[in-house]
Amino acid sequence: MDIKHLQYFVSIVDHGGYSPAARSLFITQPTLSQTIKKLESELHTPLFIQQTNGICLTDAGQVLYEDAKKIILQLEETVQKIQKLNRPQKETIRIGLPTLFAIKLMPVFSRFMMSHPTVHLTMIQGGSRELQTALVNGEIDLGVLSFPKIETDIYLEPFQKDFLGYHASIVVPKGHPFEQASSLTFEHLKNERFSTLSRNFMLGKLLHTRSRDFGFEPHIVYTDDNWEVLLASLTTFNSICIMAHEYKDFYSDDSLTWIPLDDKKSFFPIGVAYLPNQTYSQNTIELIELLRDL
């Protein structure tokens, strides 16, 4: 008994007749009729009864219909299992990084995925401080993160060539008294209103620690971890913010002025972060090696 004959038989029942079944199967009705006759001959029993309003199943036909559907389903599942055995399994690598790093390194990640078609790279974006903790907790496999290292159980290896890190700038709206300044220190910022990243980010933490070093608590009017929303808030709240200067290349709004922050902690090196005693897959090791060369 040919499985295709069973599929034709089930299609006739499901479509309520030979003509619609033949159309759905892209075969002629005579071909379909011959197939059913052959099937009935093999089983030595009729499967359909012709009535004035169409066809209906015989008792034997009803039994065959119910069992044939199970057989077809079982065969399809078996084929899928076998195909799955022959299909390379996708490996997921979870990499945590701030949005700026994702933008800057997208060409690198793109090349890696092209050369490793069995790898699914999942980028989990956030602040370097929270992502260092996420690495320790097993929520990500590795990261591209900022120094300083706050988790003792991770290894954070600095980049050596192209993308060494980022510089902090003070961003102010047009018309702000600082607009013409060539640089600013925290001493200049004592009386300002701040929109800021949260302390999940190195720059969010920097605002609090360095303000206190200069003897004041920052006046924070708005907090957001989305850098575009944060920049958009400056005009609304008549506030300023500390932002990585490198974001300026990806922000086209000319209503803001970016002024270098003159501070001993205004540069943040970055690097690849991973767990030193973790057993990594070969693909993950190759990604770490690729990032090490940046």
pLDDT, tens digit, 9 for 90 and up, residues 119-150: 999 999 999 999 999 999 999 999 999 999 99
Provide the whole-model pTM.
Answer: 0.69
- Which of 283, 247, 276, 280 lies closest to 98, judged by CA? 247
Query: Cα 135 from chain centroid?
Result: 17
**What topology is assigned to 3-86 in CATH?**
Arc Repressor Mutant, subunit A (1.10.10)
9: pLDDT strictly greater than 80: yes
pLDDT band, very low/low/confident/very high, at 2 (cuts 50, 70, 90): confident
d(CA 240, CA 245): 14
Residues of the chain with CATH 1.10.10.10: 3-86
- Location of each CATH 3.40.190.290 domain in the chain: 165-268
Contact 164, 272 (CB under 8 A): no
Q: What is the pLDDT of residues 256-288, one digit of tens each?
A: 999 999 999 999 999 999 999 899 999 999 999
Per-residue pLDDT reduced to its tens digit, 162-199: 788 999 999 999 999 999 999 999 999 999 999 999 99
- Would you say residue 84 has pLDDT above 80? no
Give mean pLDDT, residues 222-249: 95
Task: Identify the pLDDT of residue 1.
Answer: 79
Domain formed by 165-268, architecture? 3-Layer(aba) Sandwich (3.40)
| Res. 88: pLDDT tops 70 | no
Residue intervals of the chain classified under CATH 3.40.190.10 are: 91-153+275-293
Residue 95: both structure tokens together = 């990499």
Would you identify the CATH topology of the domain 91-153+275-293? D-Maltodextrin-Binding Protein; domain 2 (3.40.190)
With a pLDDT cut of 70, the percent of the chain lying above it is 99
Question: Is 89's pLDDT higher than 80?
Answer: no
